[in-house]
Chains A and B, each alone.
Chain A
């Protein structure tokens, strides 16, 4: 069987793996075949979580079916959130949680326990899952509910407990497929954080795009974006209120020389992004795509980083250490790290997922070209601080953390391991991530 070169969305640390795309009927055969295995959806994990070098990477994309039942959907794991929305939105149902891209699968959403702009209000994707059908290393399919320990090892478990085949997910009722929004420039990070704490109470969705290249009085200047689902009483909603037609206008060129994104080009882009936003709070009516998935407008945008690829660094720090956020932004600014749009977001309470990332506090996510000198050391310093403050790194994004921080960042790691050992004692399920971190 020929092996394919495969990496994560950041296109770093490419390895060879046997990529298979089984049907529901044949997937168990792969589990019985004896190789190391990991499931892969649409490959939007930034680092090395959905590939296993020298083993079998099992694409779930043949596992696609979907039906709406009451306020929930029963959906196969390989179905993308785009497919879910296209099907369910016209019927008045929206996904309970969406990340910044609609091109993730339901299986991946559960395995990474993804969050969105509504985490402070609605929690993670896993919090809306009623059951999971999980294919175990033994070949057995087990239906897990939130009362099972294995359920909470699987939610956020990075695919290491088995292959998620399908799930039942509670949806959010909406009257329209539009968002009633308010966007505004914020002059610096201190003002931003004050506003975001207040926005938590007022808005279901909130997020800020931060220009980490700006310095001095403009340190952490940003664009704060808040929103609610528009209702039918909103006079601005015209035409079919539930129409949802996401489009991709552009495709990134196939070859981009490394270094196109450098501190100058990134600074210019961030400047333009900031200026484009309204100076004072401005109400608007936006499409789902415009509000939630702006980057999806450019297909394969990850290629703009060139062949060196990029990493995403996403951490959460608890409220008690909120001052770490401006310090991190200042570090990026003064060390001139070319960060192309950082995202700042508040998290609500953690759920019962043993390896689930979100926990009350602030989360900052930055994209950094992988070829930039000195980045490794800067991020290592940040890790030390974050781990000392009770924060953690998001495993679905990670491609470089120091494994010795893992147990401090994820205090329920041993519990996860003991549950995993019950269902996969010989460690059939593994990924490059799990091997790198000794997970």
Chain B
């Protein structure tokens, strides 16, 4: 149950190895009502044990979930639903090597499955459960990348666009009180996923995203940008003439190194 001051007890994380998710869980734990955290993802064991050591009074569990295995995700979620969750975090994300993703259909599809389709299935299943239990908050980690395609990450961005579009529509379809959707659009976040990339302006930390989530969890706008001024920056960039916008994007420079995969 979410209490009268917005403190949360039971959380399901889809994308259990995401650093942003861990920061959100840590932030939610500040109010000292966390009771159960279920981390869904592939091979979660070490993540679960490290989270347990950080939060001895919270029941931390793993749920084995592969977001590329669409069709089975909803059933897995339903089976592990137990007494219900107050909050479900959709925090999975994979940033594929852009040039490989442009050439290798398997890489592109894999990214789309994790970034969009798998989370669509998980989120849809969670929403059915929310309607049944009469309450729940779905937090969707989108990205500012959804606002305008850029040549260096449009494969990644295309998945996030689907997820973001779905979530914004969903937010409008619910009452926003008992059942609520929070769409978070961070800029570049300092995580394993982006470590190999040059730091963009207004890059933030997972803890900044977590603070924005905690602040807007039970009330406030249903879409937030992190940092918040990115909203206005992106509103401007979105309307820049294309030739100018292209010149602002790094083109030929292909990112090197392996993108981490925080599914």
Partners in one complex: yes
Knowing A14-B177, A436-B9 are in contact, say whether A399-B3 is a contact too (CB < 8 A): yes
> A376–B134 contact, CB under 8 A?
no
> B219–A48 contact, CB under 8 A?
no
> A400–B3 contact, CB under 8 A?
yes
CA–CA, A5 and B31, complex, Å? 25
Q: Could you say which residues of chain A place their CB within 8 Å of the CB of B135?
A: 15-16, 53-54
Contact with A along B1-16 (1 / 0, CB 8 A): 1111111010000000
Q: Could you say which residues of chain A place their CB within 8 Å of the CB of B104?
A: none
Cβ-based interface call for B195 (8 A) = no
Q: Could you say which residues of chain B place their CB within 8 Å of the CB of A376?
A: 5, 7, 31
Cβ-based interface call for A108 (8 A) = no
CA–CA, A404 and B58, complex, Å? 12
CA–CA, A48 and B175, complex, Å? 19
Knowing A3-B134, A16-B134, A54-B132 are in contact, say whether A400-B5 is a contact too (CB < 8 A): yes
> B4–A15 contact, CB under 8 A?
no
In whole Å, how far is A232's beta carbon from the nearest beta carbon of chain B?
Answer: 46
> A15–B178 contact, CB under 8 A?
yes
Cβ-based interface call for A382 (8 A) = no
> B134–A17 contact, CB under 8 A?
yes
Cβ-based interface call for A432 (8 A) = yes
Cβ-based interface call for B138 (8 A) = no
In whole Å, how far is B31's beta carbon from the nearest beta carbon of chain A?
Answer: 6
CB nearest to B175 among chain A residues: A5
Chain B's interface size range is 20 to 34
CA–CA, A435 and B35, complex, Å? 12
Cβ-based interface call for A309 (8 A) = yes
In whole Å, how far is A222's beta carbon from the nearest beta carbon of chain B?
Answer: 26
> A54–B33 contact, CB under 8 A?
no
Knowing A53-B134, A436-B9 are in contact, say whether A399-B4 is a contact too (CB < 8 A): yes
> B134–A54 contact, CB under 8 A?
yes
CA–CA, A399 and B3, complex, Å? 6
> A311–B1 contact, CB under 8 A?
no
> B5–A375 contact, CB under 8 A?
yes
Q: Could you say which residues of chain B place their CB within 8 Å of the CB of A380?
A: 32
Q: Could you say which residues of chain A place their CB within 8 Å of the CB of B35?
A: 403
Q: Could you say which residues of chain B place their CB within 8 Å of the CB of A12?
A: 3-5
Q: Could you say which residues of chain A place their CB within 8 Å of the CB of B131?
A: 16
Cβ-based interface call for B92 (8 A) = no
For A432, give its contact among B1, B31, B33, B177 (CB under 8 Å).
Answer: B1
CA–CA, A120 and B34, complex, Å? 38
Q: Could you say which residues of chain B place their CB within 8 Å of the CB of A402?
A: 32-33
> A308–B3 contact, CB under 8 A?
no
List residues of A (373-426) whose CB comes within 8 Å of B's CBs. 375-376, 380, 399-400, 402-404
Most chain A CB neighbours (cut-off 10 Å) among B1, B2, B9, B219: B1
CA–CA, A302 and B80, complex, Å? 39
Cβ-based interface call for B179 (8 A) = yes
CB nearest to A437 among chain B residues: B1
Q: Could you say which residues of chain A place their CB within 8 Å of the CB of B57?
A: 404
List residues of A (1-58) whose CB comes within 8 Å of B's CBs. 3, 5, 10, 12-17, 47-48, 53-55
Knowing A5-B175, A53-B178 are in contact, say whether A13-B4 is a contact too (CB < 8 A): yes
Cβ-based interface call for B228 (8 A) = no
Most chain B CB neighbours (cut-off 10 Å) among A13, A370, A376, A403: A13
Knowing A16-B135, A380-B32 are in contact, say whether A370-B5 is a contact too (CB < 8 A): yes
CA–CA, A47 and B9, complex, Å? 16
> A53–B133 contact, CB under 8 A?
yes
> A13–B134 contact, CB under 8 A?
no
Most chain A CB neighbours (cut-off 10 Å) among B2, B5, B57: B5
Knowing A14-B177, A54-B132, A54-B133 are in contact, say whether A436-B3 is a contact too (CB < 8 A): yes
> A399–B5 contact, CB under 8 A?
yes
List residues of B (156-201) whose CB comes within 8 Å of A's CBs. 175, 177-179
CB nearest to B3 among chain A residues: A400
> B177–A5 contact, CB under 8 A?
yes
CA–CA, A206 and B105, complex, Å? 78
> A400–B1 contact, CB under 8 A?
no
CB nearest to A372 among chain B residues: B5
> B2–A13 contact, CB under 8 A?
yes
List residues of A (213-243) whose CB comes within 8 Å of B's CBs. none
List residues of A (300-333) whose CB comes within 8 Å of B's CBs. 307-309, 311
CA–CA, A403 and B3, complex, Å? 11
CA–CA, A10 and B5, complex, Å? 11
> B1–A435 contact, CB under 8 A?
yes
CB nearest to A401 among chain B residues: B3
Q: Could you say which residues of chain A place their CB within 8 Å of the CB of B9?
A: 436
Q: Could you say which residues of chain A place their CB within 8 Å of the CB of B219?
A: 307-308, 371
Q: Could you say which residues of chain B place their CB within 8 Å of the CB of A5?
A: 175, 177-178
CA–CA, A402 and B31, complex, Å? 10
In whole Å, how far is B178's beta carbon from the nearest beta carbon of chain A?
Answer: 4
In whole Å, how far is A367's beta carbon from the nearest beta carbon of chain B?
Answer: 12
CA–CA, A53 and B137, complex, Å? 14
Q: Could you say which residues of chain B place their CB within 8 Å of the CB of A436?
A: 1, 3, 9
CA–CA, A54 and B31, complex, Å? 25
List residues of A (256-309) whose CB comes within 8 Å of B's CBs. 307-309
In whole Å, how far is A365's beta carbon from the nearest beta carbon of chain B?
Answer: 15
Q: Interface on B for A, CB 8 Å cutoff?
A: 1-7, 9, 31-33, 35, 57, 83, 131-135, 175, 177-179, 219
Q: Name 9 interchain pairs, CB-CB below 8 A, sorted by A.
A: A12-B4, A15-B135, A15-B178, A16-B131, A48-B4, A53-B134, A308-B219, A399-B4, A404-B57
Pairs A-B, 10 closest by C-beta atoms: A399-B4, A16-B134, A436-B1, A54-B134, A53-B134, A12-B4, A54-B133, A15-B135, A14-B177, A16-B178
Q: Interface on A for B, CB 8 Å cutoff?
A: 3, 5, 10, 12-17, 47-48, 53-55, 307-309, 311, 370-371, 375-376, 380, 399-400, 402-404, 432, 435-436
Given A5-B178, A402-B33, A436-B3: 14 more A-B contacts, CB < 8 Å: A3-B134, A13-B2, A15-B135, A16-B135, A17-B134, A48-B1, A54-B135, A55-B134, A307-B219, A311-B5, A399-B4, A399-B5, A435-B83, A436-B1
